[in-house]
A = this chain, B = another copy of it.
Amino acid sequence: MMDDRSQLSAMNFLNEVSGVFPSAISLASGRPNDRFFDKLDPEVLVNALRVYERHSTGCHRSGQGWSDLLQYGRTAGIISEFVAQQVRSDEGVPAKADRILITSGCQEALAICLPALCPEPADVLLVCNPTYVGVTGAAKAAKVAIAALSNSGPSVADAIEAAVQDLRRNGRRARAIYLIPDFDNPTGRVLGAVARRDILQVCARHRLVVLEDNPYGLFRYEGDAVPPMAALDQVGSVIYLSTFSKTLSPALRVGAAILPDTIFGDAGVCQALWDDLVQRKSFVTINTSQITQAIVAGLLIEQRASLRGWIRPALDWYRANRDVMLRQLDSVFSPLSDPIRWNRPSGGFFLALDLPFRFGADDVDECARRDNVIVMPMSFFALDDSQDCRVRLAFSAVTPEQIRTSVTGLGRYIERRLGGKLPGLTGGLARG
């Protein structure tokens, strides 16, 4: 389990690093790129509000409709039907509006779901290692125990089976697992269809609920999409977490938890879980801002329930950034490709770089100060020391120019650490 300090500093890196080293280029932030927010100027926001208002109330009593919008409202939210349509058409998830809980960003969905799924002291949430700091942080804040899946086993399904058995021997019970199957944060990994079906099978056998978080699924750069686990789920084991932070804007703070029809075939258990989640939501934020909900709904109405057209410019930009980063990594590091390895993600915002030495918080400082590049130690996302020699590189929030310059700077840093020259650096510098 990470201690407070590393979690806090990780969140600082994620949210506030840009201010710490103003002159350095940050490959640490997995934020969506600012440049695509200009589409959401004030006029677009107010127009979206009007579109939603017209659609929901009809002009003849829009005044009343507007007053309703600015009032306290339904705890589970008021735009479930629009979110259901978008998730069905864009992600192929069989979402039903009456099972969609609108949350103040996807983080609130985690803060609500974790204690609801793991109410007893013996209950445990399974997570990958490394994993998103927001889920380990939410678990810690809710006093929910977590256990890391081993990376040594042949498959995630086998790791789940082993973790369930191991916990059982110690009197604990695995109740749920958190996964980002598409373009994982922090690793960029994609789980294949076979792996997803195997995971669903082992989870059904042990009645583990899958929390499928899918913030990056629409950002696939090549190849065919793998169906979300919520689309492959046949028994009622997947709660699908959706967000508009990467597609529209993080400032909306609108996300959703989408429940199946039943939990492992039991509609009553699902209804009880729904009631518990709605009650918990009411005690965390009462209801999600109806102003930002209405903006999301208005935009979804205008986009005819699909955001694929809206995000296309961002998608092309992120794909080009990924290609630039991979090319630059090749040109700078290929001579050392044995000690230094990285994956080639088919989507998302991140890749993982393996180093032949440990890289921690102090190294971040030196790398930022001397080589003007900020990278995220993978240890910030880890539950043990197995990730100490890896870093996460994010290519979403930077320009191609910044990627070339910063990867070259990272090369210089690594060169110093290795005490040897990187022949590729010259070429890298030329490109940089």
Q: Report how far A34 CA is from B275 CA in the complex, Å.
A: 28
Q: Which 6 A-B pairs have the closest CB atoms?
A: A34-B67, A137-B283, A37-B70, A46-B46, A251-B290, A253-B289
Q: Report how far A288 CA is from B45 CA in the complex, Å.
A: 18
List, sorted by A's number, 17 A–B pairs whose CB atoms are closer than 8 Å. Answer: A8-B279, A11-B283, A34-B64, A35-B67, A37-B70, A70-B249, A104-B108, A104-B253, A107-B282, A107-B285, A111-B285, A141-B283, A142-B142, A143-B143, A253-B286, A284-B284, A291-B292
With beta carbons under 8 angstroms apart, the residue of B31, B137, B295 that contacts A291 is B295
Proximity bits, A234-270, B CB within 8 Å = 1, else 0: 0000000000010001111100000000000000000
Question: For the complex, is A66 an interface residue (Cβ under 8 Å from B)?
Answer: yes
Residue of B nearest to A275 (CB): B8
Shortest CB-to-CB span from A412 to chain B, Å, is: 29
A250 surroundings in chain B (CB, below 8 A): 70-73, 286
A41 surroundings in chain B (CB, below 8 A): 66
Residue of B nearest to A295 (CB): B291
Q: Are A15 and B74 in contact (CB under 8 A)?
A: yes
Known: A108-B285, A253-B286, A289-B289. 15 other contacts (CB 8 A): A11-B75, A15-B75, A16-B74, A16-B75, A34-B68, A42-B49, A70-B250, A71-B251, A73-B251, A137-B282, A137-B283, A141-B280, A141-B284, A249-B291, A252-B289
Q: How many copies does the complex hold?
A: 2
Q: Report how far A111 CA is from B287 CA in the complex, Å.
A: 13
Q: Report how far A415 CA is from B157 CA in the complex, Å.
A: 67
Question: For the complex, is A115 an interface residue (Cβ under 8 Å from B)?
Answer: yes
A280 surroundings in chain B (CB, below 8 A): 141
Question: For the complex, is A7 an interface residue (Cβ under 8 Å from B)?
Answer: yes
A104 surroundings in chain B (CB, below 8 A): 104, 108, 253, 285, 289
Shortest CB-to-CB span from A136 to chain B, Å, is: 9
A35 surroundings in chain B (CB, below 8 A): 67
Proximity bits, A14-29, B CB within 8 Å = 1, else 0: 1110000000000000
A50 surroundings in chain B (CB, below 8 A): 42
Q: Number of contact residues on A: which range applies?
A: 35 or more
Beyond A289-B252, A291-B292, whether A71 also contacts B31 by CB under 8 A is yes
Q: Report how far A140 CA is from B40 CA in the complex, Å.
A: 39
Question: For the complex, is A94 an interface residue (Cβ under 8 Å from B)?
Answer: no
Question: For the complex, is A385 an interface residue (Cβ under 8 Å from B)?
Answer: no
Within A68-127, the residues touching B (CB, 8 Å) are 68-75, 104-105, 107-108, 111, 115
Shortest CB-to-CB span from A61 to chain B, Å, is: 12
Residue of B nearest to A39 (CB): B70
Q: Report how far A289 CA is from B249 CA in the complex, Å.
A: 10
Q: Are B287 and A15 in contact (CB under 8 A)?
A: yes
A53 surroundings in chain B (CB, below 8 A): 42
Question: For the complex, is A4 an interface residue (Cβ under 8 Å from B)?
Answer: yes
The residue in A252, A279, A285, A288 that gathers the most chain B C-beta atoms within 10 A of its C-beta is: A285
Within A302-342, the residues touching B (CB, 8 Å) are none
Question: For the complex, is A224 an interface residue (Cβ under 8 Å from B)?
Answer: no
Q: Report how far A14 CA is from B134 CA in the complex, Å.
A: 31
Within A335-383, the residues touching B (CB, 8 Å) are none
A67 surroundings in chain B (CB, below 8 A): 34-35, 37-38
Q: Report how far A279 CA is from B134 CA in the complex, Å.
A: 11
Question: For the complex, is A192 an interface residue (Cβ under 8 Å from B)?
Answer: no
Q: Report how far A79 CA is from B40 CA in the complex, Å.
A: 21
Residue of B nearest to A4 (CB): B279
Question: For the complex, is A43 an interface residue (Cβ under 8 Å from B)?
Answer: yes
A64 surroundings in chain B (CB, below 8 A): 34
Residue of B nearest to A137 (CB): B283
Question: For the complex, is A138 an interface residue (Cβ under 8 Å from B)?
Answer: yes
Question: For the complex, is A427 an interface residue (Cβ under 8 Å from B)?
Answer: no
Q: Are B16 and A251 in contact (CB under 8 A)?
A: no
Residue of B nearest to A397 (CB): B71
Question: For the complex, is A153 an interface residue (Cβ under 8 Å from B)?
Answer: no
Shortest CB-to-CB span from A167 to chain B, Å, is: 21
Within A208-248, the residues touching B (CB, 8 Å) are 245
